[in-house]
Chain A
Amino acid sequence: MNKYFLMKLIEASGDEGFHGRKRLQKVVFFLKFEGLAVNAEYELHRFGPYSHDLSQACSDLKSQDLLEEKTSPTARGGVEYSYSLTTPGKAAISHTEEVSPTTKTAFSLAESTAKSLISSKLWDLELGSTILFYYQKCNDWDHAFSNACEFKRKDSTSSSSTSALAFAKSFVK
């Protein structure tokens, strides 16, 4: 996993930090689909596409004190994770941008998409990424959509499902 891109993604989420591990997984999936060289392998998991490489990169950055992870209770009794950059993390980004300007440019090109994804509805990200995951395999929207809805146990005729399909389709030119 390209850790610079991950740190820039957290930075792009603003002062409040990046909220949600699930959201992080799906946002990176979409950025990868858009062509950003994140170098993270994805497989289908309980909530849709999931990358061990990304999860590992977060752990590494935490242990290097470059990324801070906070937890807060959710209304449903679960836990929400949020990420923000530490001071050494911000310095590490500056260092990378100084020594590797091409890496900086690569993320700049994807930054507006990243910001748009960060503010997207979680369900669009979750079901949309699952649809895209299947679409990559079969190149058939109907098949991908029915498989994704079956996988997520979601009615394919519901408005939230069709919204996620439209969201997924917007990433395929």
Chain B
Amino acid sequence: MGVLYLMSKAYSHLRDTVKGSQKAQVEHAKHSLLAAALLHDVGHGPFSHLFEPCMGINHEYWSIRIISDPESCIHRKLSKVYSNLPTDVCELIKGDKPSLPRWEKSLISSQLDMDRMDYLRRDSLFSGAGYGHFDWSRLITTMELHENDNESIDLVWPEKASMSIEEYIFARYYMYQNVYLHKTTRGFEVLLQAMWKRAKTLIDEGSPPELIPAIEKLWLNDPDDISVAEYLAVEEHSVLYQMQAWTSSTDSVLKDLATRFLNRDGFAMIDPPPVSDPLTEDRSEWESKVADALNDKDFKNASCYCLKDELKAKYLSPYRPEPEKGLQDMTNAIFIKSDNGQVLEVSESLPRLKAVIEMGMSSSKFKYYVPKSMRKIVQNIK
């Protein structure tokens, strides 16, 4: 709903400010833009992104399935507006159709899209963090359409909006550093994934743990063989009930991981020692020593208790223009249009951004998580 609200503001602003043939293009895109804003994440399963790796859910796949399914009420409602609207919305969400206008794609998915603007503010509010604030209204009411020489129309901002863009990028930076990538958050994520991975191992080994029917159906079948209704039957309370059931599992590891998760007994973060081989970045020797230490303390299944977490470089940077200028593209960078009509990638006019951009130019970082009782022992392993 928040994305729809911001998109409706952006749409109204563009409709009222652009002129000539662009105006007709904007008006033509109204329904697909607003519907895509509302529905782009309709395929999210329980606990959204957090839970996707646990059951192998791809929310975009399900968003498309739900919108495309003639039996779904969403499809029926959209079709009533005009018959091809479900298809238009799906194409906008997928974003890979070459003829899709770039400004439309940018509003739905880019480095400064309505979704990012919405979730940043929402997560800031609900996490209680003092970060994540920026002048969203200024960003929306200053955006412009810019016609490139190669006949594409792109979203750009005038110089007067550059401070608001900078504020938005820094807001993202603070939220990532303090909320999204916080060690406690990540620790619970890897614990959750370890729990479901353990359950999958037991299934693969022929001794499946108790599974509720809706989860069994979704988890153990190919997505193409699952109906939209069957997918939608798995909700947050299904997953919570499932994990509650595992707290009395006959498998001691699954029982322990589920109990720890539900009792908020998260793992402790450990910085691994530097790698000796820069090409493979292999830490298997250290991991093996950690496994031995875990075994000594009765954590018999070390792979479930020494959890590796990769913080990919793209998540360490709040904004990633292309490192190679020649590859700079209007859809993957934010552009400022100067008063003399020149269009520049935003960090070229705002040098202060270079520091946070460089954060994303470093390699992925690895952290490990172990039970809190093992923290000091593992920290001393070199």
Binding site for B on A (CB under 8 A): 2-4, 7, 21, 44-47, 50, 52-53, 55-57, 59-60, 64, 66, 78-79, 92-93, 95-96, 99-100, 103, 134, 137, 147, 150-151
Contacts and interface: CB of A to CB of B under 8 A. Distances in A.
B314 A52 contact: yes
13 contacts: A3-B278, A3-B280, A4-B280, A21-B324, A45-B329, A45-B332, A52-B314, A52-B320, A53-B313, A55-B324, A59-B361, A99-B280, A151-B98
Interface in B241-281: 277-281
Contacts of A47: 327
Interface string B300-325: 00000000000001100000100110
Contacts of B99: 150
A3 B361 contact: no
B97 interface: yes
A150 B277 contact: no
A150 B98 contact: yes
Given A3-B280, A99-B282, A56 B313 contact: yes
Given A78-B326, A93-B279, A96-B279, 14 more contacts: A3-B278, A3-B279, A3-B281, A7-B279, A52-B314, A52-B320, A56-B363, A60-B363, A66-B279, A92-B277, A92-B278, A99-B280, A134-B96, A147-B97
A113 B260 CA distance: 48
A51 to B, nearest CB: 11
Contact of B277 (A21, A52, A55, A95): A95
A64 B332 CA distance: 28
Contacts of B278: 3, 64, 66, 92
A57 B361 CA distance: 10
Interface of B: 96-99, 277-282, 313-314, 320, 323-324, 326-327, 329, 332, 361, 363
A46 B280 contact: no
Nearest to A152: B98
A147 B362 CA distance: 34
Given A52-B313, A134-B96, A46 B279 contact: no
Nearest to B329: A46
Contacts of A45: 327, 329, 332
B96 A137 contact: yes
B324 A2 contact: no
Given A46-B327, A55-B323, A56-B363, A92 B97 contact: no
Given A3-B280, A21-B324, A147 B361 contact: no
Contacts of B96: 44, 134, 137, 147
A102 B339 CA distance: 58
Contacts of B97: 147
A117 B320 CA distance: 29
A100 B280 contact: yes
B352 to A, nearest CB: 22
B275 to A, nearest CB: 11
B203 to A, nearest CB: 25
A96 B277 contact: yes
Nearest to A147: B98
Contacts of A137: 96
A61 B211 CA distance: 47
B94 to A, nearest CB: 8
A3 B277 CA distance: 10
Given A46-B329, A47-B327, A92 B98 contact: no
Contacts of B361: 56, 59
Given A52-B314, A60-B363, A103 B280 contact: yes
Contacts of A100: 277, 280, 282
B280 A96 contact: yes
* Most-contacted residue by chain B among A2, A46, A57, A134 (CB, 10 A): A46
Nearest to B323: A55
Nearest to A96: B279
A21 B99 CA distance: 27
A147 B94 CA distance: 13
A116 B118 CA distance: 48
Contacts of B327: 45-47, 50
A59 B280 contact: no
Contacts of B326: 78-79
Contacts of B280: 2-4, 96, 99-100, 103
A93 B98 CA distance: 41
Nearest to B320: A52
A44 B100 CA distance: 14
A147 B279 CA distance: 37
Nearest to B97: A147
Contacts of B98: 147, 150-151
B308 to A, nearest CB: 14
Contacts of A60: 363
A162 to B, nearest CB: 19
B279 A92 contact: yes
A44 B323 CA distance: 16
Contacts of A78: 326
B144 to A, nearest CB: 22
B150 to A, nearest CB: 9
